[in-house]
Amino acid sequence: MRKQVRISLIGAGYVGLTTAVGFSKKGFKTILMDIDKEKVERINSGESPIYEPGLREMLKELRREGNIEATTNLDYAVSESEITFICVPTPSRRNGDTDLRYIEDSSKAIGKALRLKEHYHVVAVKSTVPPETTERVVIPNLEEGSGKKAGPGFGVCMNPEFLREGSALEDFLNPDRIVIGELDPRSGETLAFLYRGFAAPVLRTSLKVAEMIKYASNSFLAMKITYANEIGNICKKLGIDAYEVMKGVGLDSRISPHFLRAGIGFGGSCFPKDVLALVSKAEKLGYNASLLKEVINVNSRQPYRMIDLLKKRIGSLKGKRIAVLGLAFKPETDDVRESPALRIVSELIRQGAGVVAYDPKAMFNFRKAFPKIGYAESAKEALKGADACLVVTEWREFRDLTDDDFSAMRGSVIIEGRRALDPKKVDGFEGVCW
Ligand code: UDX
């Protein structure tokens, strides 16, 4: 197979879109398929439906060159490509189980499209799915739809993504490692071809191992953050700075300095869902994953520490005006899924406070959950007349805020949930773990 190999991706969400743009940038032709007509039209007109640094510019350029297209027609996407990635969402059910509805639907539909294909085709699962899903759900659906046997009839891989929102393109183009779970060597070879131009080590494994690597990685990172938060909570009681402590801890090469930033806990579309899914999978296998359960517990309590601190400083929140700076679950994204800001704002409202929020990118999405709170055009505007300020996301622009800006507040209490402000420019703020 030469570089003319074409790739289709089912699901033009954040993973599908970034992966398509990344592979196109590497010289492959890609076809993105999504049921959302509006999204497809936007992509085809060179507009990114999500905010991700660099994505819009790159998509525009690739569209001009004709290396990427979007369609609502799955049969077309599969028939015009040699490799199909499944990039559909795998949301959590209420009980923590993974909802595999979209995986089932898409694998059935891909199977049907494969029925008509004469040439060898590989289907690769990119969506995060619990161990055994590719074997037990994806393959049977593909076989049923296509009337062919996995292996001789078509190839199957499980190729997890490790993309961070806010740096997804960068992560795609410069990965730490590439994991290829394969049904058989031919499937794996075909997929490995796509990654020839990458400088990262390629790990070839079974399907189940690849699925588990993704969960074990994300759960570890979630646990590492939670550990930093637990130490941070103790540091706070000691009156010391968790960041200073973690600097000393992270210099141990066995630990590494990454993901030790204490604060109000992890959010986003992956960590909370993935830890929960692994706990639930373990349960089904007859194992009580108590460590991971506690990660979830500590993490869900962490945002409320901001409220506790706030109340210690200003008493009852009833009738108070609180400025909330930052709503996204982390900087450089407009994503508010599982953002600690959701819990914080909801609790502020429950206790009778008035909220005026500002976020450089995420207000549109946050408004869907909280249409009635106040939204400001800038951080400075949010601060005007506020009794207190909570800094919830560490957007870079908040580092430029000075005492002058905060002097527009009625009160003087500033509490940081993330390390965001510059102590040289702002006086007297307090952090959750520092
Ligand atoms: C994560 C994984 O990093 C990525 O590999 C996976 O594919 C998807 O999930 P993402 O959710 O985009 O990526 O964000 P990440 O940068 O990992 O941060 C997740 C959350 O943890 C954020 O809320 C962030 O603020 C928080 N975090 C991160 C901390 O609280 N402390 C840290 O030290 C690091």
Look at ligand 1, atom 18, and give the residue with the nearest C-alpha: 266
- Distance from the CA of 330 to the center of ligand 1, in angstroms? 8
Give, for 279, the enclosing helix (H) or strand (E).
helix 271-284
**pLDDT tens-digit profile of 20-59?**
999 999 999 999 999 999 999 999 999 999 888 899 999 9
Token digits of residue 25? 């940038």
- pLDDT for 260 equals 98
Read off the pLDDT band of 377 (50, 70, 90): very high
Q: Which residue from 213, 247, 270 has its CB within 8 A of the most atoms of ligand 1, so it is best to mutate?
A: 270
Q: Where are the domains positioned within the chain?
A: 6-205, 215-301, 304-431
Can you tell me whether residue 237 is helix, strand or coil?
A: helix
Give, for 185, the enclosing helix (H) or strand (E).
helix 185-194
Contact 22, 32 (CB under 8 A): no
Look at ligand 1, atom 28, and give the residue with the nearest C-alpha: 259
User: Residue 145: which of 122, 100, 114 has the closest Cα?
Assistant: 114
- Distance from the CA of 164 to the center of ligand 1, in angstroms? 7
CATH class, 304-431 region: alpha beta
Contact 243, 419 (CB under 8 A): yes
Distance CA 11, CA 170 (A): 20
Read off the pLDDT band of 393 (50, 70, 90): very high
- pLDDT for 317 equals 98
**For residue 270, which atom of ligand 1 is closest to its CA?**
9
Tell me the backbone φ, ψ of residue 232, rounded to 5 degrees.
-60, -40
- Distance from the CA of 259 to the center of ligand 1, in angstroms? 8
Beta-sheet pairing, 321-325 with 388-391:
parallel
- pLDDT for 4 equals 78
Largest CA distance in the chain: 72
- pLDDT for 228 equals 98
DSSP secondary structure letter of residue 90: -
Q: Give me the mean pLDDT over the 207-232 stretch.
A: 98
Q: Give me the mean pLDDT over the 223-231 stretch.
A: 98
> Could you give the percent of the chain with pLDDT greater than 70?
99
Q: Which residues pair with residue 123 across a beta bridge?
A: 84, 156
Beta-sheet pairing, 155-158 with 178-182:
antiparallel
Q: Give me the mean pLDDT over the 260-278 stretch.
A: 96
**For residue 168, which atom of ligand 1 is closest to its CA?**
12
Read off the pLDDT band of 433 (50, 70, 90): very high
Look at ligand 1, atom 2, and give the residue with the nearest C-alpha: 164
**pLDDT tens-digit profile of 85-138?**
999 999 999 888 999 999 999 999 999 999 989 999 999 999 999 999 999 999
Residues involved in catalysis: 270
Given a cut of 80, is residue 323 above it in pLDDT? Answer: yes
Q: Give me the mean pLDDT over the 301-324 stretch.
A: 98
- pLDDT for 51 equals 86
- pLDDT for 329 equals 97
- pLDDT for 1 equals 46
Q: Which residues pair with residue 69 across a beta bridge?
A: 31
Token digits of residue 20? 């398509």
- pLDDT for 96 equals 85
The CATH topology of domain 215-301 is N-(1-d-carboxylethyl)-l-norvaline Dehydrogenase; domain 2 (1.10.1040)
Given a cut of 60, is residue 255 above it in pLDDT? Answer: yes
Domains 6-205 and 304-431 share a fold: yes
Distance CA 10, CA 13 (A): 9
Look at ligand 1, atom 11, and give the residue with the nearest C-alpha: 268
- Distance from the CA of 73 to the center of ligand 1, in angstroms? 34
CATH class, 6-205 region: alpha beta
φ/ψ region of 253 (left if φ > 0, alpha if ψ in -120 to 50, else beta) reads alpha
b/e code 181-194 from CB counts within 10 Å (16+ = b): bbbeeebbebbbbb
- pLDDT for 78 equals 98
Given a cut of 80, is residue 2 above it in pLDDT? Answer: no
